[in-house]
Amino acid sequence: MVYVIADDIVLIDETRDRVNASDVLDEADVEVRLATQIIPKKESFKYLGFVIQGSGDIKDDVTHRIGVAWTKWRLVSGVLCDKKILPRLKGKFYRVVVRPALLYGAECWPVKNAHVQKIYVAEMSMLRWMCGHTRSDKIRNEAIREKVGVASMVDKLREARLRWFGHVKRRCADAPVKRCEGLVVEGTRRGRGRPKKYWREVIRQDLAQLHLTEDMTLDKKEWRSRIRVEG
């Protein structure tokens, strides 16, 4: 039971456990209204090409980007699978047309290994088709990438994140993106299971792996040269 007295809220129940249980609002019972209209609650929705999940996960967005990339790939498969075109030229075409669709918004993803692996597998399938190979040919992934001149997906994801990170760090203190970076949401409680992985944590790992520091972002030209991945 909830009592509102002046500007205070008091929880009352028969036992301590039931009081503690009442301390957290049941999100399923919360209604969001715009004037008199109730806004329907959804587990996920699309916004500016992204798939936003209520849980904060990016699984649906990753799946969506892979689907969009395959659609792009099929539209230009006549070029990518043409045996008369040199593999390196196919790779350049892929980097310009297909990969941007696959990595759209990836600079903001708090990726886990499972997400990276899913994207990696999808891209390798595309590259093998371009070269006229299948997995049964037992040709190493590195050999396929070298043939078409396409860099590792792991490296390109890291490059995208660090490029955006540098952009954010160079913005003025009152820029909206700067305020969002330091935003702390109070009153939330950790759910069950493994803690969520946050974008800042991924960035810290990227910086450590490339032996970079945050103050290096201030020199845009130098920063770009340090994080750039050819292909």
Q: Give residue 31's pLDDT band: very low, low, confident or very high (50, 70, 90).
A: confident
What's the average model confidence in pLDDT over 192-213? 84
Q: Give residue 3's pLDDT band: very low, low, confident or very high (50, 70, 90).
A: very low
What pLDDT score was predicted for residue 18? 58
When mean pLDDT is compared over 50-54, 105-109, 155-159, the highest value belongs to 155-159
Q: Give residue 144's pLDDT band: very low, low, confident or very high (50, 70, 90).
A: very high
Q: Under DSSP, is residue 72 helix (H, G, I), strand (E, B) or coil? A: helix
The pTM score is 0.76
- The amino acid sitting at 219 is D
d(CA 161, CA 159): 6
What pLDDT score was predicted for residue 7? 46
Looking at every residue in the chain, the average pLDDT score rounds to 83
Pair of tokens at residue 122: 């999808």
Q: Are strands 32-34 and 44-47 parallel, antiparallel or unpaired?
A: unpaired
Q: Are strands 8-11 and 37-39 parallel, antiparallel or unpaired?
A: unpaired
What's the average model confidence in pLDDT over 28-32? 68
Pick from 113-117, 127-131, 137-141, 212-216: least confident: 137-141
d(CA 80, CA 125): 13
Alpha-helix runs per DSSP H in the chain: 16-22, 59-75, 77-80, 87-97, 99-102, 113-131, 141-148, 153-170, 176-181, 199-209, 220-227
What pLDDT score was predicted for residue 194? 59
Q: Within 10 Å of residue 79's Cβ, how many Cβ atoms?
A: 14
Residue 187 has pLDDT above 60, yes or no: no
Longest dimension (CA), the chain: 79
Residue 146 has pLDDT above 80, yes or no: yes
Q: Give residue 185's pLDDT band: very low, low, confident or very high (50, 70, 90).
A: low
What pLDDT score was predicted for residue 207? 96
What pLDDT score was predicted for residue 43? 82
Q: Does residue 119 or residue 172 have the better pLDDT?
A: 119
- The amino acid sitting at 24 is V
What pLDDT score was predicted for residue 2? 39
d(CA 49, CA 21): 38
What's the average model confidence in pLDDT over 144-168? 95
Q: Give residue 128's pLDDT band: very low, low, confident or very high (50, 70, 90).
A: very high
